[in-house]
Structures are given as C-alpha cells and as structure tokens.
Structure 1
Amino acid sequence: MGLQFKRLILSACVGVMAGAAAAVFLITLNAATLWRESHPWLIWLLPLGGAVIGFGYYRYGRESEKGTGLILEQIHDPSNILPLRMAPMVLLGTLLTHLFGGSAGREGTAVQMGATLADQLNRLVKTTADDRKALLIAGAGAGFSAAIGAPLAGALFGLEVIQVGRLRLFALAECLVASFVAFYVCRILGAPHSVFGPVGDVSYSALGFVAVFGAGLVFGLAANVFMCFTHFIELLQKKFVKHPVLKPVVGGVLLVGLYHLEGSFRFVGLGISEIQSYFASAASLADPVYKTIFTGLTVGSGFKGGEFIPLVFIGSGLGSALSVVLPLSVAMLSALGFAAVFGAAANTPLACAVMACEIFGWNIAPYAFLACVVAYFVSGHLGIYKNQKIVRSKRDQLLWVFRRK
C-alpha cells in the first residue's frame, strides 16, 4: 500500500510538471503563430529557422534528436535517465518551426516534455525499474492530455503507445492521476486550447455502420500514405544531404517554394481554422493531399512539433470530403477522420476513439470506435513513433479475434 501511494504521489507531481510545461508551451506557441500571421514575410526565413534547429540538435542534442523514440526506448530497455535538455530543446525547436511556417504539430512536443520532466524525478527519489517505467508512461500520457484537453485519452495513450498488439494496464492508476492533474493544471494556467463543437443529431443505422467501415478503410490508407511519404523524405535526406545541419535547411527551401507555388498558404503551421471549417462544409480532396506533402517534408527534414495536428488536419479534411459520397453528416465524418487517421498512424486506436468522444461527445462512441479500429488494421505496422514494439502483428490480432468468436 505504501509503495503504491508513493507512486500515485509521484504521478501527481508528474501531472503538475507536465501540465505546467504544456501551458507554457501552448501560450508561447500561440504567440509565435500570431506573430507569424501578422508578419507573413517570416515564412521566407524558414530555411534559416531550420539551420538554427539543425545546428542546435547537432551541437547540443545528442540522443535528444530521437524524440519520442528515445522515450519508448527507455521504457522498453531502461538504462539512462532522459537528458533534461530534451525538454527545452524540443520546445524551442517547435516554436521556431511554427514561427517560420513549418507544417507541424504540437502534441509530440508536449509528450516529450512530459516524459522528460517525469524522468527527472528519478534523480531526486529512489525508484525501482518498474516505478520509472510507470512514471515515463504517465509523463507521456500527461503531456498528451494537457495539450489536447482530453484526460481519459491521455491516460490510455501513455499505455497504448508503448507497444502494438497488447494493451498492458500495469500503470493505469499512475496514468490516470498524472493525466487528470496535467489537464487541470494546464487549464488553471490559462493555456489556449482549440475548440471543436459537439457532433449533434447522431442516428445509427446499418447503412451508417457500413459507411463508417468504408471511411475507416480510407482513413487507414491515408495514414499509411502519410507515414510512407514521411519516411521517403527521411531516406532522401539521408542519401543526398550528408550534414545533419543542412537537412532542415534544404527542407525549408523546398517548403517555401512549394508554399508559394500552392499560393493560399492555408497549410502553413497548425491550420486550426481550416480544421474547424471542415466541420461546417465539405472540403476539397486536394486539402489532405497538400497537408500530407507539406507535413511529410517538414517532419522528414528534421523540423520539430510532431504529427498529431497535421494528421488531424488530414483526417478531418478527408472525412469532410467523403461527406459528399457517404450518407453521414460532414461534422460526423470530420470528427471520425480527426481521430482515426492519427490513431492509425500512432497505433493507438482505443485512445483516439476515446479522444473523439471526449472532444465531440460520447454519443458518437460506436462510430468512433469502429472507424479507429478499422483504420488501425488497414494502416500496416509502419508508425510515426520509432521504437514502438510490435508484440503481436495486426494480422495475428485479427485472427485471434475471429478465433475467439
């Protein structure tokens, strides 16, 4: 009892640190975004921002460059405490990425900061290997929770993201405590969150479930295309750009050129206003294609911020466009795409289905779970998080389900 109480107290401390860090991050990120929108010429300096990020990680980053992959590596095979520099470096890298117009997200940064700060407790308090593993998972989930404003999803995300094929609940209590504490700390500190209205007038029918199944197939394929393209950019950079400092510079030059060729600049930065618009009227199928290209080039070239919001952009836009041919409302399909594409890319379908319910209302739960699970199985094993352990292949998972039946 005493040891469990200690872990819960430490989990609450993790939540406070992750929530405070996420609040600072969201407030400064909002300021950077507003500054860029007021001074659009800053986009021309994206290659310079890339040079600063590349040099910073080359000179001072060491293993921090691995990002979330390093966190998963330490969860699976604990050895060294995560370097404290990882938190400020990913924070500054993400702010620079968005200040100069990179097409990236923000939740990946919050996850890295939450886990990094959680791991520092091991320098102050004597813990076992299992304690450290639980706190790392709780820190990652708390960062996710604080950044998106969905505490239940954050707790599940920390548990589900570490491995594919088996959900272990050994740190559920710690994740719940850290996630809810981080959520409320972030809210108390006044961090800005994106607002999406609930999906109303939900009705269920056999045709509706068939439509959601079909949409889930498309969402899973979209996630797979995004991951393949991002990895393709990484391979090209590795093959043709030898010095790591130059990779984001080259990527920045290409991005600036493509932004100006496309002309609308709607795909710069987070694109929250565009995502919100998809819930009101059908989007063009070109939108998720553009966002895939711009984000794959941004992330694959070494800019920081993560993929969550871009994948939400892609999923919401794709769902919105599908409303023209599927017998479901534009808001419903946008909400399903919002959760399912990221859930497939991160291999976290349960966390993302719960996230959809927390953000858009629990009345969409049956459709949300179906869309996320179908997209997850279609997307393949290539994921956005390196070092994610595959315990059981998706094919074996399906066979196990059918055998059970």
Structure 2
Amino acid sequence: MTRNAAKFLIFSRKVLRRVQGYGVYKVWAFAVIIGAAAAYGVIGFRHVIDAVSLLAFGETEGGIVSGASSLHFFRAWMAPVIGGLVVSAMLYLADRFKWLEAGRPQGVADVIEARAVGGGHVSLRTGLATAAVSAVSLGAGASAGREGPAVHLGATIASIINRYLGFDAKQRRALLGCGAAAAVSASFNAPIAGVLFALEVILGNYALSVFGPIAAASVSAAIVTRIHLGDSPAFTIPEYGASGTIDVPLAALLGLLCGFLASGFLQATERMTLGVRDFAQKRGISYLLLPPIGGVIVGFIGAAFPETFGVGYQAVTKALRGDYAIHLLMVLVLMKCAATAITLSCRFGGGVFSPGLVIGAFAGAAFGGMLGVIFPGLAASPVYYAMIGMGAASGAILGAPISTTLIVFEMTGDYSITIALMVAVAIATLVTQWLCGRSFFHWQLSRRGYDLSEGPQGIILKTIRVREVMEKMPPGAPLSDDADRLETRHSLGEALAKLNEAEEHGLPVVDADEPSVIVGYLSRVKALAAYNKALIDQNIEHHT
C-alpha cells in the first residue's frame, strides 16, 4: 500500500467514526444521498430500456406502439422472441455465478422480504442482474412494468450505501424504504406518492421516525429527475369538460368492475405461473427455455395488438386521447392481461404496476365510451373514467390504495377527480381482497413461506431461529433415537409448537448434521421471552 493510500484510508476511517456518532442526523444525510443515487440509477435504467427498444422496434420505449405498428408482422413478432433468447442467456450466467436466486429476476416482493426477514440487505449482484434482465425484457416488448425493477434497484443502492456505515437494523430498514421511495419518485415524477408507497408497501407502517428520512430521499430523487428529465406529468390529459354529481356513483360502479378485473388478472397470473412451473417440471423443460417460449406467444399478441408491448404508457396516452373504439378497448383489456400473465410466468423481468395502469385505462375508457353511447350527455367524458380506471385497477392489483391514488394524481396532474377516484380505488381494492384475499406482492411472498397478513407476530415466529435464542453448551452425551429434540435451524414457531406437543418445559437442541449430539438447550420460558422482546421491538419501531 502506498503512503498516500494509507493516509486516505486513515482519513476515511476517522470520517466514518465521526459520522457514526451523529445518530439520526446520519440517517437523514444518507437518505438524501440515497435519493439522488437512486434517481440516477433509475434514469440509467430507463436509458437502457430505450436503447434496447430502439434496436428492437426502431423507437424508444415511449414510442413502442408506433414503432411496432410500423413494422412487418414477422419483424414485430421476432423482437420478444430474440429478447427471450437474450434473457435466457442472462439467466444462465446469473445462475452460474449465483447472481439471482431460483433463476428469476427480483422485484418489490423481494424488497419487502429484505425488510421483513433480511435485515434490510439487498445483494448488489442481484440488484444489477435484475435491472439488466428487466431492461432487456421491457425494451424487447415483454408486457410488464418498469417500476418493480426500479424499486428493487433503489433498494439495492440504499443497501450498498448503508452496508458499511454502522447502521443498526431499524435504520437499515428505514434506508431501504428511502431507496424504494426514491425509485418511485424518480419513475413517476411523484415525490408524495414515493413517500406513501415506501410507508404503505415496503415498511408497512407510518412511524414518525422514518417519515422524515423517506420524505428527504423522495424529494432528493424528484429534484435530480426533474433536472435531467424535466418537470411534466407522465401523461398529458386532454380537455374533457366538467363532471357532475352523477359521476361519483358511476365511478363506484367502475371501481366494482375494476375490482373483478383485477381479481381475474391476479388469479390468472397466479395460476399461469404455477401451471408453467409444473408443466416444465413434469416435461423436464429447463427454466432457461421459458423466456423464448413466452416471447413467441407475447410476440404474436403484440404483433396483432402493439398496445400490449412493453410498459404501455404510449397506449395509455392514446386511450386518453380517444384513439380507440370501444370494442377494441375491450379486446385490449383481455390481450394486455394475457400478455402480462405470460410475461411474468415465463421469467421475463418486470413489475405489475404499469400493466395495472394500462388495463385500468383501457377498461375506464371503454366504460366511459359505453356511457356516452347509452346515456349521451349524462356522464363525463371517457377521459375522466380512463383516469379513474387507472387508479382503481392498479391500486387493487398492488394492494396499495393510498399511494396508488396519489401516483395517478401526480402522473396526470389532475386533482379534479379526487372524490370519484378515491371511491373507485376503495371499492376495487375491497372487491379484490374479498375475492383473492391478498395483493400480488403478498401472493409472491406466500410462495416463499411468508404470510405478512398475520402481522409482525407471524414474521417473528418464522424468522427467529432456535440457534439465536438457545443456551449454548459444549457437545454432550448422545441422545437416544426416540428422544424429543429441537434443531438449530428450526424457527421459533416450530420450537414452541414442539414444546407444546412434547409437554416439556424445555428440550435439548441438536444440529441437523449431527442429530444425536446435544449442542444447546431451549426452555419454554426463554423462547417466550425472545418472542415477547421481538414483539415489543416491532411495536416500538412501528409507532415511534
């Protein structure tokens, strides 16, 4: 090590020790840094999507419908097929070098899992691999959203920045939320919605101690994004005239329809994902073949209906302008649902928020158009109902009614639909919860063994391990084969169930590799004490 390098290392350590002494100020300072860094990450992610889209369709992602429409059917069909082959190659490399778990790109559900059970850590290699796979997928026409990968990328950047700076677990979780909020803010140019998304979806609480840093990160990201990309809403809303009192109950009816639509989409995606996995396993088909197979089907749908390609924001803009006939809008709703379900089940990268917006916009515009035909002059313009449909469908799919409502406000710049939008989002979310019982993210988490609907107590019972709370002891006398025992890998919930079943005050603990050698002891009292302490810590974190 050179002399100058040694001096720099010593200086860095002194600065690090000084920064670590400032507690809450350190969290605020790094929240701002995370916000700016995440914004640049999202901007770079969007540029990569545009570059791939230019190669695939001759237009950036924002003009993908026009680009695909101008191509020959076979040429448009080939784009997602070739994209699927590239994604397969990327998944192969990611699996070989252990960059992605289970051979799939990650998203919002993985960030929630990192907050709940991972100590706020997200792998850098996983984050970069997910962003790369998702950028190729979306640029090549896969029907999904860019916001899920963007949130994962923001959380990755937050995890990198806070990993070596001495933050405790609570602060790491808060900074993880900062990364997610910044990503939403940068993706939608929606700083308020970014804050509420992080609190509502990622952290699952509205504690005052995390609100400030998350707001700072979201504002920082919005400033950076507006400097580089401008300060304009994602969608330009045409003039649509005044709305009346009758439009609120009609919006409620649209919310009911969007609730059924969102439920159908969630169940179709879930069943298709499980069906594709079971089919591949039974036929011995490698998961590496799924993206090109999915690309073949998505390519056929997109070549016939270019509005289903990619993120779909140009299609939303055209729907808001009234460019589509009512019957075509109804067909596009079904085609977008099918294309998205196939995309997500075949291991392309992407999220579900943008598809929710597109599906809702098509459904709302069709609903408003039918009202205009059946009851001319009675209701507001189809544009009005398209905006309400965007919020109702996407909010029900995500299970995030508050942040989704604000995202629609900030993306359209139109707050005149406030009452009708809130009514529609609330009804759509209620219907979806009634029919499906969970949001898209909670369904993904349930496949990994986590049920967040149980609240903090359920997570605690599943994530605390016996090895963390047992009384350790040197390896002792061997146990007989029929003696009751716990294993170090058992969860606290499994341990308490075993103690109740055995009707014992405590049980010896063994390692799974040596099931007959005692390495510790766990009493019922100690297990319950650990559970109570974790509950208290969770309560403090969620309410302070």
State the TM-score, normalizing by the size of structure 1: 0.88
Q: For the residues of structure 1 that align with 2:168 and 2:349, how far apart are their CA atoms?
A: 32
Q: Describe how 1:169-184 pairs up with structure 2 within 5 A.
A: 170-184=209-223
Q: For the residues of structure 2 that align with 1:116 and 1:202, how far apart are their CA atoms?
A: 44
Aligned with residue 312 of structure 2, among 271, 277, 286: 271
Code of the residue aligned with 1:331 in structure 2: it is V
Paired residue for 2:46? 26
* Aligned-pair CA distance for 1:313: 0.9
State the Cα deviation string for residues 258-286 of structure 1 (Å, max 9, x = none). Answer: 445xx243312123221101112154211
Q: Is the 8 A contact 1:20 1:189 kept in 2?
A: no
State the Cα deviation string for residues 272-329 of structure 1 (Å, max 9, x = none). Answer: 2211011121542111110000011001211002122211110101100000234232
Q: Is the 8 A contact 1:233 1:301 kept in 2?
A: no
Say whether 1:363 aligns with 2:363: no
Say whether 1:124 aligns with 2:144: no
State the Cα deviation string for residues 118-151 of structure 1 (Å, max 9, x = none). Answer: 0112322111111011111121121111011111
Q: Is the 8 A contact 2:38 2:179 kept in 1?
A: yes
Paired residue for 2:251? 212
Aligned with residue 452 of structure 2, among 370, 377, 389: 389
Q: Is the 8 A contact 2:241 2:380 kept in 1?
A: no
- Rate the CA distance shift 1:337–1:151 in 2: closer, same or farther, 3 A: same
* Aligned-pair CA distance for 1:194: 7.1
Code of the residue aligned with 1:359 in structure 2: it is M
Higher relative contact order (CA 8 A, sep 6+): 1
Paired residue for 1:11? 31
Say whether 1:133 aligns with 2:185: no
State the TM-score, normalizing by the size of structure 2: 0.67
Paired residue for 2:396? 344
Paired residue for 1:397? none
Paired residue for 1:102? 142
Q: For the residues of structure 2 that align with 1:46 and 1:28, how far apart are their CA atoms?
A: 14
Q: Is the 8 A contact 1:11 1:178 kept in 2?
A: yes
Q: Is the 8 A contact 2:259 2:431 kept in 1?
A: yes
Q: For the residues of structure 2 that align with 1:233 and 1:98, how far apart are their CA atoms?
A: 20
Paired residue for 1:58? 95
Which structure would you say has the larger Rg? 2
Q: For the residues of structure 2 that align with 1:49 and 1:109, how far apart are their CA atoms?
A: 18
Choose 294-303 or 233-242, whichever is displaced more.
233-242
Q: Describe how 1:6-405 pairs up with structure 2 within 5 A.
A: 6-38=26-58, 40=76, 41-59=78-96, 60-63=98-101, 65-79=105-119, 81-162=121-202, 170-190=209-229, 195-198=234-237, 203=242, 205-242=244-281, 243-260=286-303, 263-281=304-322, 283=326, 284-326=329-371, 327-360=379-412, 361-380=414-433, 381-385=437-441, 386-387=444-445, 389-390=452-453
Code of the residue aligned with 1:238 in structure 2: it is R
Gaps of 5+ in 2: 1-20, 59-74, 372-378, 446-450, 456-544
Code of the residue aligned with 1:340 in structure 2: it is A
Q: Is the 8 A contact 2:238 2:320 kept in 1?
A: no
* Aligned-pair CA distance for 1:204: 5.3
* Aligned-pair CA distance for 1:248: 2.0
Quote the sequence identity (%): 25
Q: Is the 8 A contact 2:259 2:430 kept in 1?
A: yes
Code of the residue aligned with 1:374 in structure 2: it is I
Q: For the residues of structure 2 that align with 1:80 and 1:212, how far apart are their CA atoms?
A: 39
State the Cα deviation string for residues 53-83 of structure 1 (Å, max 9, x = none). Answer: 4324433333374432221112112347211
- Rate the CA distance shift 1:123–1:163 in 2: closer, same or farther, 3 A: closer
Code of the residue aligned with 1:265 in structure 2: it is P
* Aligned-pair CA distance for 1:13: 1.1
Give the superposed CA RMSD: 2.5
- Rate the CA distance shift 1:56–1:332 in 2: closer, same or farther, 3 A: farther
Q: What SS is found at the alignment partner of 2:45?
A: helix
Q: For the residues of structure 2 that align with 1:371 and 1:146, how far apart are their CA atoms?
A: 26
Q: How many residues align?
A: 389
Code of the residue aligned with 2:419 in structure 1: it is P
Choose 204-213 or 53-62, whichever is displaced more.
53-62
Code of the residue aligned with 2:151 in structure 1: it is V
